[in-house]
Amino acid sequence: MPFEMQAKDFPLLKNDLLLRAARGLEVERVPVWIMRQAGRTLPEYRAVSEEHGFFGICRTPELACEVTLQPIRRFDLDAAIIFSDILVVPQALGMEVIMKPGEGPVFPEPLAGPDDLARLQRPVNVQEQLGYVFEAVTMTRHKLEGKVPLIGFSGAPWTLMGYMVEGKGSKTMSKAKRWLYQHPTESHQLFSLLTDVVVDYLVGQAEAGAQLLQVFESSAEYLGPDLFAQFALPYIRRISSEVKDKLKAKDIDVPMTIFAKGGHYALEQLADSGYEVVGLDWTVDPAGATDRLGDKVTRQGNLDPCALYAPEESLDALAKQMVERFGTRRYIANLGHGIYPDMTPERVVTFVDAIHKYSRQD
Amino acid sequence: MPFEMQAKDFPLLKNDLLLRAARGLEVERVPVWIMRQAGRTLPEYRAVSEEHGFFGICRTPELACEVTLQPIRRFDLDAAIIFSDILVVPQALGMEVIMKPGEGPVFPEPLAGPDDLARLQRPVNVQEQLGYVFEAVTMTRHKLEGKVPLIGFSGAPWTLMGYMVEGKGSKTMSKAKRWLYQHPTESHQLFSLLTDVVVDYLVGQAEAGAQLLQVFESSAEYLGPDLFAQFALPYIRRISSEVKDKLKAKDIDVPMTIFAKGGHYALEQLADSGYEVVGLDWTVDPAGATDRLGDKVTRQGNLDPCALYAPEESLDALAKQMVERFGTRRYIANLGHGIYPDMTPERVVTFVDAIHKYSRQD
């Protein structure tokens, strides 16, 4: 195994703003990164993507590494996030997922009902099934040369289940929600199985070199307070608790982030779910969210992604306003959702530079 | 003109629970109706729809009336809502809208940019362009024979603009939001134009016999607090204020409802926007919403529509819990969003009966 593929002797980290902010330590300026910064908008990504396809990149460590590094070369970001997809977990359970350009990921054979749970392969050996992600993480951590920390991630169980049942994006998630009402026991079985895999997957990423772990509950918006408390939050908590326990036994300590998009109704619970950082979508008012989260977690977010369509001066002013609203302590600047494919690199520069400019502590 | 087409000498209203609840008066039980109760789920609707098409029904008063009455015949509902669509307003402005089965409404030629505003026909004579809705309202009010009140409605300007720019449903509304950031002046021009039409349209429905008017800001979820305050709320306020002024001059007094789906961040402002009733989606906690709205408005909502997939006893318990949480004063029971096409009439019965059973004041 070439040296750069081993998860040890990583280069010294030169910019640890993200990790300090996540832990509530002093920072000289607010760290900033952008959800989906790797892929989507960059022409150099599209070139790789056209040749190898989306999951081709995910499954080839050299390509995933290259695509992860692309935005770091271009922009003054304070973190890299490994290029991958939340749906690699359903793939590891034996489900086929194909990426339809312009439409997104599609499952040719979604879970039609609880009987289909028998189709899922288990137990899942994440080293075998998802080792390609771990390799990509290790390689990227080396190739980053300590420039910025590397974020690993996973989808949360409800969000994964939503895709596995719907088979594609949905405006209502009504098929998946139907399970929650009609098959609560089997839903919990599926969530429990997914939680086991997600825990191992996140632990594996941290062992491979990821320095922060983010859990995406991207479909929290379809649930309400009751369903979330019953079917999402228990697994979100179990993930942070089990990941931290398992990593502690290996003497690894990485901060964790929970981002529940549309989970405005559960901010208090999220602040108390065992994560150092709570991500916020753009529908949440910074002052109100700060009150509700308290001072025990770091906030991450939450500029409306569409602000990147604004003229340069407007975007600069919006980024300034955001920093003023959140303050510079316990705060990681980001968008409130992933960047959209038609946004320009120029505006990414405007956004990143504005955060740095307006948050510098002199 | 046959008698039943004249907007006068309407039958005496026998069940005014909805109107009393809207005005904060005493009720002997909580009124209940269901968004999208007319159409979608009912086999007798699908029969009409297959023959005449969606907009064919909208544009033929006899058919719109028939379809409006169908759920009233079947269920013990406390209100009827005229069968129509929010997109009749863009149609009145000269835009073509076609209904694609399984996909929803589509604009073959959406507004690509501000230059396209010149394509919109104005001024709009709502009597000419939307008279078919007014006829349907008048006919339905007669044919209801005073059984329950009749609700009229309109989309709010931001929601209408979203469809007019996107051309169809969207997961992000990013094209429409791009306008807000890149063309704020022209966006306001469009909102102002739409507001003028919506005001006349709602006034016309009340004159035709509608006894409550609901404004749907169905796409509030895509905005955040800032964009909503800037581009949606001012027009929501203008609508209630101008509609009430114009109706007052005609000696007509009808309560109004604002339902901003996904507008959790603006409940305080909505409570203060000139409407008697504020609709709530299912992501909002009843107790928290009640605190934020105060006691000057009636609350409407907000059971998760997917609860109608639950077994009978579970749904009964969820409806009971909802009534307990909201209480029986200043409250109109409903779902937190329109009913979905695959829900069964049996569960509608369960829901409606449960509300009546658990809210009766003895």
Closest alpha carbon within chain A to B283: A224
CA distance A301 to chain B (A): 13
Name the residue facing A264 among B264, B340, B342 (closest C-beta): B264
> pLDDT, tens digit, for every residue of B218-252?
999 999 999 999 999 999 999 999 999 999 999 99
pTM: 0.97
Contact A174 B223 (CB under 8 A): no
Block mean pLDDT (10 aa), chain A, length 362 = 83 98 98 95 94 96 98 98 97 96 91 98 96 98 98 98 96 97 98 98 98 98 98 98 98 98 98 98 98 96 98 98 97 97 96 98 78
For chain B, the average pLDDT equals 97
Q: The domain that contains B206 carries what CATH number? A: 3.20.20.210
Contact A307 B181 (CB under 8 A): yes
* A contacts of B181 (beta carbons < 8 Å): 306-307, 309-311, 314
Q: For residue B3, is pLDDT > 70? A: no
In chain A, residues 211-230 whose CB comes closer than 8 Å to chain B:
221, 223-227
- Interface with chain A: mutation pick from B36, B40, B283, highest number of A CBs within 10 Å: B283
Stretch B53-82: mean pLDDT: 97
pLDDT at residue A1, rounded to an integer: 65
Say whether residue B8 is in contact with chain A using an 8 A CB cutoff: no
Name the residue facing A181 among B224, B262, B306 (closest C-beta): B306
pLDDT at residue A248, rounded to an integer: 98
Stretch B284-300: mean pLDDT: 97
Q: How many domains does chain A have?
A: 1
pLDDT at residue B216, rounded to an integer: 98
Helices B43-52 & B61-74 angle (0-180, nearest 10): 170
Contact A264 B285 (CB under 8 A): no
- Asked which of A206-210, A273-277, B40-44, B288-292 is least confident by mean pLDDT, the reply is B40-44
Q: Report phi then psi at B155, rounded to 5.
A: -75, 155
CA distance B172 to chain A (A): 9
* A contacts of B305 (beta carbons < 8 Å): 172, 174
Range of the domain at A346: 3-359
ipTM of the complex: 0.96
pLDDT at residue A292, rounded to an integer: 97
pLDDT at residue A3, rounded to an integer: 67
Name the residue facing A285 among B265, B311, B314 (closest C-beta): B265
In chain B, residues 293-322 whose CB comes closer than 8 Å to chain A:
304-307, 309-311, 314
Task: Say what percent of chain B tops pLDDT 70.
Answer: 99
